Chain A
Amino acid sequence: MRAAERRASVSGAKLFSRILLGGALLIASAASALAASFYTVTPCRVIDTRDPAGAFGGPALAAGATRGVTVGGQCGISNVAIAVSVNVTVIAPTAGGYLTLFPSGAPMPVASTINYRAGQIRANNAILALGTGGAVSVFGGQGSGTVHFVVDVNGYFDGSGNHQPVVDAGPDQVIPGATASLAGSGSDDGQPAPLTYSWTKVSGPGSVVFGNPASPTSSATFGAIGVYVLRLTASDSAVASSDSVVVTATSSSADTVRLLEQSTFGPTNALIAHVQTIGPAAWIAEQLVAPMSSYPTLPLQPTTIPPTCDAICRRDNYSMYPLQRTFFTNALYGPDQLRQRVAFALHELLVISGRDINQPSWVAPYLQVIDRNAFGNYRQLLYEMTLNPGMGRYLDMVTSTKNNPNENYAREVLQLFSIGLDKLNLDGTQELDGFGVPIPTYDQAVVTGFAKVFTGWTFENQPSPGIVNYIDPMRLIANNHDTGTKQLLGPLILPAGQTGDQDLNAAIDDIFNHPNVGPFVGGHLIRALVTSNPTPGYVSRAASVFNDNGFGVRGDLASVVRAILLDPEARGDVKSDPNYGHLREPVLFVNNVLRAFNARSADGTTTSDGYLNPQTSAMDQDVFRPTSVFSYYPPDYLVPGSTTVGGPEFGIFSASTSLRRANFVNTMVFSSIAVSTNAPTGTSLDLTGLQALAGNPAALVEELNRVLMHGSLSTAMRDSITTAVNAVSASNPLLRARQALYLFATSSQYQVQR
């Protein structure tokens, strides 16, 4: 090192003392005895005053003037550098003198960085602290004239001793569902080690599960609806930086599972992940346009069973067997889950039964009417159902003539299919008269009037002798139609002389426009999908959408279903109302368990055959064969032991059927439904996922909590089941999985969907 340079070199201690004297600290850590690390840069010219005038150019420095030069951030010098190593060169001074380089903003020290004579080109090295703004000041200490100078940098000191990593947790988000994609990023100087990342939850109402917590781009799934603060920390193994991001979760993992319980025949892992990402509204929109599974039109059979028709023939042509299998395979595998749920709910409202309409080819068209209108308009559904031959036969409209009018359909279309017996407020509560007594919606005269409306309709022509046309809508025989006046609801009196079609349409309109229909149908759908005990407000909101879907249309079932599922009473993480929820009816219970565990054939190689009606039938729900027009269970059945709490599904939950449910679980969990004459492939559960967790009983129980009970498992239930799992040797993971699943699926806590 040359003498001039030595004069200009600074020890670490003097450097720091100089910074202290200077007063302006760039880096707080410089005040302590931290070692500063030196980083070289490719030598680079920061300023040359011979260049055109500018921040890093001319003019030449005048005698006695001070020029500031920003060094930090230039030429690869870190903008957190606290000191730099520079070579300063003077060129063509017009007089002899010296330059003092010092941190901008600090008082000029009594020191020189380089001395020179006139006309001399000289260079010297300097190590000096950076001042305000990362700048260096250059003082021209000569008596007169000007001097050009050049400053080249070759390195810098970082006061922290290491580059702080730069990290960005990404932009704040409001997500539609329960799973967010986090777009974090980070950068560093690579020292001393490559960056590692870590996502953590800072705050928020529920759990956060990161898909890949060690990656800046990770998913995050939220256990509760609300606002979360998440932190991404990047560390170079010596120092770390962090940044936070605010994510607002509109849904949650818990509520996603609950939504799927309400809108499908059972949540699956694939659907849970999908809906967590897209959120409830988008899921419903998808489901409203999903392709329809429905039922095939079957060939009509002779009404009189031919003597050659053996047991298999009777099973396939004179029992509900084919439709039952289609129902279950649709429920297990069909894409149109919400339509199927709504359709089954409508079947439980507009009832016919295979006990009387005993060919599957006779019932399929009825199911098709419901399926294609499930997201359509209720008026259209009523109209098509009125002319459906299966319904016509079931409630005797096919033989009703003006001379012998039959009242059955007239009575039930009012009592069961549209308005019920008593006037309702919009919120589903009974309207009461001045004595506090319910007000009937109609009397015998009205029933008689509607009975007259429905006269003259009968089966379409026979396609061939002995075969009755249950496929095409009923046709009118005008001579058999009562053309007198007819008293309907309203009070509307249809004039004499109208055709059967005119009377029919006027009557359907009369029913459809009755104010009861909104709360009646809305209330039924709420009870079928969500809860047996909706608040009056909930019914009111659903009924309002029935009355007007927002576009002036009455009876829009898709809008009603959407409103029911997006309503705050259906959504939310934890339901604390003790009366909320409903007991899973057998078709729900059976399909829920099967779908949760990827039901497939008995040997696991293909799909289940859907031969599951014996299971639900044992639980008193014989699919498409309800015992009467009042459906499988009465809609006003109360929870046993209560005089106020509704529990319709308890109407078929007896001592016998409660044990049948447990025995069904026993069959599926410990065995399977074997192949048989009626079961071409059988049905079994896939427990491999549960088995894989069996080594960790807590994880196994938590997984079942997630997928079956949307996180609502109580501590006491968790402890009890975990104890039972631990009673099984760890060397038998399958038995452990079975132990846990049996206990969950048979519990009352699972039987009731909340």
Chain B
Amino acid sequence: MTRESTRREFLIRTSCAALGAAAVSAGVKRFGLISALAQQSAPSDYRALVCIFLNGGNDGNNTLIPLDATGYNAYSAARSAAGLAIAQGSLLSITPPSINMPFGLHPSLPQVKGLFDQHKLAIVSNVGPLVQPLTRDQYRNGVARPYQLFSHSDQVAQWSTARSDIKIQSGWGGRTADNTVSYNGSGTFPTITSVAGSTVFAIGLLTRPLAIAPAPTPLNQVLVLNGFNSSPEAVARRSSMDLLRTIDRQAALIAAASDVTQQAVDIGLALNVDPALATVFPATSIGSQLLQVAKVMKLNQTSPALSLNRQIFFCSLGGFDTHQNQVGGQATLLTQLDDAIKAFYDATVELGIESRVTTFTLSDFGRTLQPAGTGSAVVGSDHAWGNHQFVLGGAVAGGEFYGVAGSNGTVYPTLQLSGPDDTDSRGRWIPTASVEQYAATLATWFGLASADLPTVFPLIGRFTTPNLGFLP
């Protein structure tokens, strides 16, 4: 496809006119233009997506390793000499029925293994940004590929926006929220909550996320304005402060600052308790974030000011850019991830919504099978492309690998430098499943109508199927 038609497509499909009328009218209210919080009934049809972004590019090659002799030997041939290979005996064995061969999870992932074995967790294999399906030969012959491969910021953008042909400013989480806004009625608590700061993933054409601090900040203290009481002076000060946010809006930056602050004030009123959970979460960064997510979910069940039927959450765990010191570094991070997502799953069970919550990972990219540097104390790996992701929840058809079959007939890549799945010679896997397909599967389960799929994922038609099947 020529660049010109792609650009034309983009202009048509990402304009505001691409939103359904119902979405627009409901979304206007949700955009915070009405400050009064409407009473809602308790959620009757609740579904939530929880995104965990592994910042830096998690090395999938040491996360999921073939355990059959041929497969492991291929892996070892590339990584042992430099000290990057994980010993076969320490890997945690799982067997996906579709491949019917053993694979080993990183030793830091026992909870993930347990959830996989209980069919609550699935693995999407060799998924990554694609403009269209691509073979090695096509890649090397210059067929269209994602922009700025191997660049952190651009790959993060592509996983977040599910567009790899051009850079756009909205995320697929935001666009999905835009197009499912009718589930949430006319309340004003945002659909998307981030406990990891600003992210393009959560930006839609209408949708703007709420960003709050993670635990240990109590939920009723994440948005508190200090220094006011009932004295006449404080009341007068608050009254003036509230008015100042409504004036002098001709300057775009002033208006935006006022809008963000107004949202903070309004939502702060809604977050008026700090729910308690019996489940114990690890006191790590990702543990604290998921704890806060669970609290918001609980508050959503009990507070009339929330009562959303659809919620999306964003968390992140950083440090995965292991150009060096990967052995220790990745082990530590995967342990944190492992413990945290197990606790979170247990919390959804506690809340009775484990089949209504689907947690999934994203990451910048996978990493080169070929190591960077040498020596187990310092060895690492460089930026690559296709990677493996986890999907967890009661609704997930777990215990299986998903994706698109590649040249070896399975969804798992051939671990061979300069092999059929390598972009070059360093072991950068060309994905067989695209981010669009991965995200569309999640969004469809979330409630995005199939008629609205092209609105949120304009290039979905280029791929063999819009649904990878892990959320039937």
Binding site for B on A (CB under 8 A): 396, 399-401, 403-408, 411, 415, 421, 435-437, 440, 444, 447, 532, 578-583, 620, 627-630, 633-634, 637-643, 645, 647, 650-659, 662-663, 666-667, 670, 714, 716-717, 720-721, 723-724, 727-728, 735, 739, 742-743, 746-749, 751-752, 754
Contact = CB atoms under 8 A, between A and B. Distances in A.
Nearest to A726: B236
B371 interface: yes
Interface in B1-21: 2-4, 7
B97 to A, nearest CB: 38
Nearest to B256: A639
B153 interface: yes
Interface stretch (B44-52, B207-215, B429-437): B207-215
18 contacts: A404-B371, A406-B323, A407-B372, A411-B150, A435-B4, A579-B251, A581-B251, A641-B256, A654-B198, A656-B211, A663-B225, A714-B247, A720-B244, A723-B240, A728-B236, A735-B233, A739-B237, A752-B257
B323 A647 contact: no
B264 interface: yes
Q: Which 10 A-B pairs have the closest CB atoms?
A: A654-B211, A727-B236, A666-B227, A655-B264, A748-B257, A724-B240, A748-B258, A435-B3, A658-B261, A752-B253
A406 B321 CA distance: 12
B237 to A, nearest CB: 5
B101 to A, nearest CB: 31
Contacts of A650: 198, 253, 256-257, 260
Contacts of B250: 578
Contacts of A716: 247-248
Contacts of A754: 251, 253-254
Contacts, number: 212
B237 A752 contact: no
Contact of A647 (B55, B82, B232, B253): B253
A421 B324 CA distance: 25
A579 B233 contact: no
A654 B213 CA distance: 10
B395 interface: no
A656 B217 CA distance: 11
Contacts of A396: 323-324, 372-373, 380
Contacts of A406: 323-324, 372-373, 380, 382
B197 interface: yes
A641 B254 CA distance: 12
A639 B252 contact: yes
Nearest to A669: B227
B7 A435 contact: yes
A578 B373 contact: no
Given A399-B324, A406-B382, A630-B153, A742 B264 contact: no
Interface in B263-290: 263-265, 267-268
Contacts of B383: 407, 411
From B224, B236, B321, B383, residue with most partner A Cβ within 10 Å: B236
Interface string B192-209: 001001100000000010
Contacts of B235: 727
B338 interface: no
A28 B33 CA distance: 73
A662 B148 CA distance: 39
B257 A653 contact: yes
A510 B82 CA distance: 33
B198 A717 contact: no
A638 B169 contact: yes
Given A578-B252, A748-B244, A655 B263 contact: yes
Contacts of A645: 252-253
A748 B55 contact: no
A739 B373 CA distance: 60
B136 interface: no
A437 B371 contact: no
A634 B153 contact: yes
B349 interface: no
A158 to B, nearest CB: 60
Given A401-B373, A435-B3, A630-B152, 7 more contacts: A396-B380, A399-B373, A650-B253, A714-B248, A717-B244, A739-B236, A748-B244
Interface residues of B, number: 74
A428 to B, nearest CB: 17
A399 B378 contact: yes
Contacts of A630: 152-153
A658 B260 contact: yes
Contacts of B265: 659
B322 to A, nearest CB: 10
B252 A421 contact: no
A658 B55 CA distance: 25
Nearest to A531: B253
Given A727-B233, A735-B233, A743 B244 contact: yes
Contacts of B194: 654
From A637, A643, A645, A747, residue with most partner B Cβ within 10 Å: A747
A404 B244 contact: no
B36 interface: no
A579 B252 contact: yes
Nearest to B211: A654
A640 B208 contact: yes
B117 interface: no
A403 B244 contact: no
B35 interface: no
Given A406-B382, A440-B148, A580 B251 contact: yes
Contact of B253 (A532, A652, A746): A532
A656 B378 CA distance: 38
Contacts of A404: 82, 371-374
B257 A751 contact: yes
A717 B151 contact: no
Nearest to B253: A752
B346 interface: no
A723 B244 CA distance: 12
B69 interface: no
A655 B211 contact: yes
A655 B210 contact: yes
A150 B15 CA distance: 104
Contact of B382 (A407, A628, A642): A407
B241 interface: yes
B223 A656 contact: yes
A630 B424 CA distance: 27
Given A435-B7, A654-B197, A654-B198, A752 B373 contact: no
B318 interface: yes
B84 to A, nearest CB: 11
Given A406-B372, A579-B253, A639-B252, A747 B226 contact: no
Contact of B198 (A583, A651, A670, A714): A651
B254 A748 contact: yes
Contacts of B244: 717, 720-721, 743, 747-749
B374 A658 contact: no
A742 B258 contact: no
B419 to A, nearest CB: 18
Interface in B109-156: 147-154
A620 B7 contact: no
Contacts of A653: 257, 260
B239 interface: yes
A720 B197 CA distance: 33
A421 B380 CA distance: 25
Given A407-B382, A630-B152, A743-B244, A655 B223 contact: yes
B223 A659 contact: yes
Interface in B44-101: 55-56, 82
A440 B148 CA distance: 8
A105 to B, nearest CB: 69
B243 interface: yes
Contact of A748 (B147, B151, B197, B245): B245
From A620, A642, A655, A662, residue with most partner B Cβ within 10 Å: A655
B452 interface: no
Nearest to A649: B253
